Structure 1
Amino acid sequence: MAVTERQAVRDEAPPALRLRLLGGFHLSRGEDDGGGQVDVSVSGQQLLALLGLRGPATRSVLAGTLWPDVTEERARACLRTAIWRLNTASSAVADPRPGVLALSGRVRLDVQDFTVTARRILTASAEGTGAACASLMGMGELLPGWYQDWVVFERERLHQLRLHALEALSARLVVREQYAPALEAALECTRIDPLRESAHRAVVTVHLAENNLAEAMRHFKAFRGLLRTELGIEPSEQFRTMVRHALT
């Protein structure tokens, strides 16, 4: 049986590895982190993270991205070593077609789970909002302490996706009159990004929906003070109009 055929058969098996990138790198056996940690070299961690975040890629792209400061020949040698070490320990890397590498189908990735949840919130109904709220509230930052350009880009992308999902979740919960989790989601947005006006509008929206005018005004004034102190600007006309209409 060819190598790719053997890999395809192996990838049909249920996920046997759990790769966590949110909150820090962690590879473990089994469906959760209790299955036993797999030790991975630094280069192996970077390879798995890149494949998890960017998807399948050619060997030349992977080598050039991970080892940009060495010759192409040396970068390819480093990549071969990283692959050998990874597959000796975990069989986490697959070769779906010649010259291309990808995460094995045996790997379950937390970033993928988060992305599916966030996009479902942004595009679908409010079903399962309790689990979605818990998922969005509990996630950590993508690979803290990693400063490669490709990590920084993906970190910001996921950061923005999370904020938009939390705001959408808050708005959807307000419609369902589930004000406590709606407020929790909105406040989480303000914790993540204290200067994000749309997040503060979401908080005020929840307070107004509950007819808590005093709470709404208190939050608005606190945000206005923060903007003046940090940026020397005022809240948008949209936000000020929203508050004025609530008081009339």
Structure 2
Amino acid sequence: MEDAEVELKLSVLGVPLLVLGGHTLSVSGKSLALVCYLALEGTTRRGVLADLFWSDRSEEDARRNLRRELHRLRATPLGTSLKAHDDLLSLTADLDLSAFRELSAQGDAARAAALLRGPFLDGLDPPAAHGFSEWRERWATELQEEQIWALLTHAAAIGYQEPRRAAELYHRCLRLDPLREQVHRELIGLHLRLGNTGRPRRSIWPSNAS
């Protein structure tokens, strides 16, 4: 009997994190960006990927660079998760985004907010990958309201019992949307309740997942 395929876990709600078989994988740059794109978008043609990640190169050069990147990925433990069929590439992963959206749909703001470690694909900006950067920004914009809903709803629910924790959640909202007036009003009230008359501290996202 063949061993069951080890599940790949990918966290995109914050700094990207790859875990395979309980072990965190050290993947960065365009390799990590390629994994994230395939996990979120599904089966994709090589030409599309080449254009996304080497937007400033000729088609021939871009495809050559893609082949090199795929060769690097296949030399890592991720190699077994990456599937190729003719001109198509795919990769399946268990996404924290899927769990976040499921919890949000159930109205469970507390557990949904706990999955938010930071902005979408925080810090992932490989060089000369203009197409990928535009794609990431579109996703971040689409997700912004969903993330803010979870944070605001949870903060409102615990504001009187845990004002310091609620303030932290409001600060997280401001990192996503610094101009959100509702959040500023709630923060002012919380800081007054806590006896803070000075300037509120800067927002800080947890460095590790909950």
Q: TM-score, normalised by structure 2?
A: 0.65
SS of the residue aligned with 1:114?
helix
Aligned to 1:94: 83
**Alignment of 1:71 onto 2:55:** no
Is 1:167–1:202's contact at 8 Å kept on the other side of the alignment? no
Aligned to 1:13: 5
- Post-superposition Cα deviations, 1:41-77, rounded to whole Å, max 9, x if no partner, equal 6432232132234332111211121122222222222
Task: Give 2:177's aligned amino acid.
Answer: D
Q: 1:190 to 1:71 in 2, by over 3 A?
A: closer
Identity of aligned residues (%): 27
Larger Rg: 1
SS of the residue aligned with 2:125?
coil
Q: TM-score, normalised by structure 1?
A: 0.57
Aligned to 2:172: 188
Tell me the CA shift for residue 85 of structure 1.
1.9
Q: Which of the residues 109, 112, 124 maps onto 2:106? A: 124
CA distance in 1, matches of 2:20, 2:125: 24
- Post-superposition Cα deviations, 1:68-114, rounded to whole Å, max 9, x if no partner, equal 2222222222222222221221223123x5432121x3x43xxx313
Structure ranking higher on relative contact order (CA contacts 8 Å, 6+ apart): 2
CA distance in 2, matches of 1:26, 1:187: 23
Tell me which protein shows more helix as a share of its residues: 1
Q: 1:157 to 1:139 in 2, by over 3 A?
A: same
**Alignment of 1:198 onto 2:178:** no
Q: 1:102 to 1:28 in 2, by over 3 A?
A: same
**Gaps spanning 5+ residues in structure 2: where?**
127-132, 200-210
**Alignment of 1:52 onto 2:39:** yes
- Post-superposition Cα deviations, 1:130-156, rounded to whole Å, max 9, x if no partner, equal x333323x3355231617222233333
Q: Which of the residues 134, 137, 146 maps onto 2:114? A: 134
**Gaps spanning 5+ residues in structure 1: where?**
1-8, 208-213, 223-248
Q: 1:188 to 1:37 in 2, by over 3 A?
A: closer
CA distance in 2, matches of 1:182, 1:60: 46
Q: 1:202 to 1:98 in 2, by over 3 A?
A: farther
